[in-house]
Amino acid sequence: MSNPSLVLNKIDDISFETYESPVISDPHEVIVEVKKTGICGSDIHYYAHGKIGPFVLTKPMVLGHESSGVVSKVGEKVTTLKVGDNVAIEPGVPSRLSDEYKSGHYNLCPHMCFAATPNSTEGEPNPPGTLCRYYKCPEDFLVKLPDHVSLELGALVEPLTVGVHASKLAKITLGDKVVVFGAGPVGLLAAAAAKSFGATAIIIVDIFDAKLEMAKKIGVATHSFNSKTEGNFEKLLAKFDNVKPTVVLECTGAAPCINMGVQVLSAGGRFVQIGNAPGPVSFPITEFATKELTLYGSFRYGYDDYKSSVTILDRNYAKGKENAPIDFESLITHRFKFQDAVKAYDLVRGGNGCVKCIIDGPEN
């Protein structure tokens, strides 16, 4: 069978290509017919700049890693899935031999094969992305979607899981007061995860009022703060009735946000760095030390995080859309057919008020 795919050839050059469909070569593998794929900021970075840190695009690469689909074929030893099941695709598969995998930190595996991320090994092909008709994945990196979770919501599982992983690192629980810096898709979903883990007050900080309004509209923020127009950290604390927050989830990588995060945290607080910075940033190390804060680096997601995200979505919609405490669906502001995928990438690259854009899988 043919496998239509969306391919990034080089900077500013995306094309549609047709490859051979993947075949099952291991009895634990599954073929998924991809139905919905979200566009991630990393996709746009490769499109515009051709690299992210050490990951440099040197050969064509199929795009996409935020996907859901329907099981099309299963290997003979697959026991948890069957043809016709709706699934979310976890896009990064580690080496089963690495120390990181064996120690329960597979997201840190140096040999990770991550969809639509350039392979740095000379002569080796890039890991295939998910913006195609058929995608092959090990059984244990697919999560079955329950009835309350649509395929569109299934495409949100990947970015939601980034927030879930951060919330687990910070040990967020009932009663925590959380500040989230950045109201882009990752920040909004990190706030959603924090709320789902029990945070009772959440402030989202950004410099764009439209993004802050979105945070309140979908139900992930109890407060919002425009750091450009509303003032310094003392004004931010006033939103919490001058009670200092216990957790910061930093999703921007911007030095002013990192510094403000340290300033607002209560003594003994937890700071999770989710966003990437383009280079070294200044850091208030003395205040960090004297408050005895804990800093966590957060990279993608690990064991059971995908399942946790699906559970969050399932419980959120268990009583119907009208009674859902978080309106995840409103994050999807734009939808495109597969044949219009290049237009979708150009839209997201240009900004234009897009929060999350979803592309359909190729039509049969």
Query: How much is the pLDDT for 126?
Result: 82
Average pLDDT over residues 57-82: 97
* Surface-to-core class of residue 345, CB atoms within 10 Å of its CB (0-12 exposed, 13-18 middle, 19+ buried): buried
Over residues 38-59, mean pLDDT: 93
Taking a C-beta distance cutoff of 8 angstroms, is the pair 170, 270 a contact?
yes
At 39 the pLDDT is 98
The dihedral sign for the CA sequence 123, 126, 128, 132: negative
Of the candidates 143, 190, 188, which has an alpha carbon nearest to the alpha carbon of residue 310? 143
In a domain, 12, yes or no: yes
pLDDT band at 234 (very low <50, low <70, confident <90, very high): very high
51 dihedral zone (left: phi>0; alpha: psi -120 to 50; beta) = beta
**Residue 352: per-residue pLDDT:** 79
Residue positions counted in the chain: 364
pLDDT tens digits, 104-128: 999 999 999 999 999 866 667 788 9
Q: Are residues 245 and 292 in the same domain?
A: yes
* Arithmetic mean of pLDDT, 43-69: 94
Q: Is 224 helix (H, G, I), strand (E, B) or coil?
A: strand
Let me know whether 202 and 245 are in one domain.
Answer: yes
Q: Which two tokens stand for residue 258?
A: 């990192």
Which of the pair, 343 or 277, is modelled with greater confidence? 343
- Short-list 66, 80, 82, CA closest to 31: 82
Residue 122 has a pLDDT of: 65
Say how many Å lie between the first and final Cα of the chain, rounded: 11
**Alpha-carbon span 194 to 99, nearest angstrom:** 30
Q: Which of 122, 56, 127 is nearest to 91 (CA)?
A: 127
pLDDT at 53 over 90: no
In a domain, 291, yes or no: yes
Q: CA 180 to CA 191: how far, in whole Å? A: 7
Q: Do 170 and 281 lie in a common domain?
A: yes
Q: Domain count of the chain? A: 2
Q: Which residues contact 228 (CB under 8 A, 6 or more apart)?
A: 207
In a shared domain, residues 236 and 106:
no
Tell me the pLDDT tens digit for each residue of 329-359: 999 999 999 999 999 999 999 987 899 999 9
Residue 113 lies in a domain: yes
pLDDT-derived band at 245 (thresholds 50, 70, 90) equals: very high
- pLDDT value of residue 209: 96
State which residues form the domain around 265.
160-297
Q: Does pLDDT of 292 surpass 70?
A: yes
The whole-angstrom separation of Cα 251 and Cα 81 is: 35
Please check whether residue 313 lies inside any domain of the structure.
no
Residue at 51 is within a domain: yes
CB 151 within 8 A of CB 181: no
Q: Helix, strand, or coil here: 204?
A: strand
Is the confidence at residue 70, as pLDDT, over 90?
Answer: yes
Indicate if 253 and 209 belong to the same structural domain. Answer: yes
Retrieve residue 151's tokens: 């395929």
Q: What is the distance between the alpha carbons of residues 23 and 279, in angstroms, rounded to a whole number? A: 41
Backbone angles phi, psi at 51, to 5 degrees: -165, 155
pLDDT at residue 353, as a whole number: 85
For residue 206, is pLDDT > 90? yes
β-partners of residue 294 are 270
| Same-domain pairing of 92 and 202 | no
| Phi/psi of residue 125, nearest 5 degrees | -70, 155
The answer to whether residues 353 and 234 belong to one domain is no
Buried b (16+ CB within 10 A) or exposed e, 66-102: bbbbbbbbbbeebeebeeebbbbbbbbbbeeebebbe
Best CA proximity match to 314, nearest among 86, 106, 140: 86
Q: Does the residue 155 lie in any domain?
A: no
In a domain, 303, yes or no: no
Check whether residue 9 and residue 143 sit in a common domain: yes
Q: Which of 249, 271, 297 is the last residue of a domain?
A: 297
pLDDT value for 1: 80
Tell me, yes or no, whether 139 and 11 share the same domain.
yes
CATH number of the domain bearing residue 75: 3.90.180.10
For CA atoms 83, 70, 326, 156, give the dihedral sign. Answer: positive
* Per-residue pLDDT tens digits for 162-198: 999 999 999 999 999 999 999 999 999 999 999 999 9
Q: Give the separation between CA 163 and CA 349, rounded to whole angstroms.
A: 23
For residue 101, give every residue at least 6 positions away whose Cβ sits within 8 Å of its Cβ, in sequence order, or none: 94, 95, 109
- Six token digits for residue 12: 């500013």
Q: What is the pLDDT of residues 4-46, one digit of tens each?
A: 999 999 999 999 999 999 999 999 999 999 999 999 999 999 9
Q: In this structure, are 34 and 121 located in the same domain?
A: yes
As a whole-number percent, the residues of the chain with pLDDT over 90 amount to: 93
- Asked, for residue 84, whether it belongs to a domain, the answer is yes
Q: Which residue has the higher pLDDT, 7 or 55?
A: 7
At 123 the pLDDT is 64
Burial of 105 (0-12, 13-18, 19+ CB in 10 A): middle
Q: Are residues 168 and 142 in the same domain?
A: no
Are 189 and 277 in a shared domain? yes
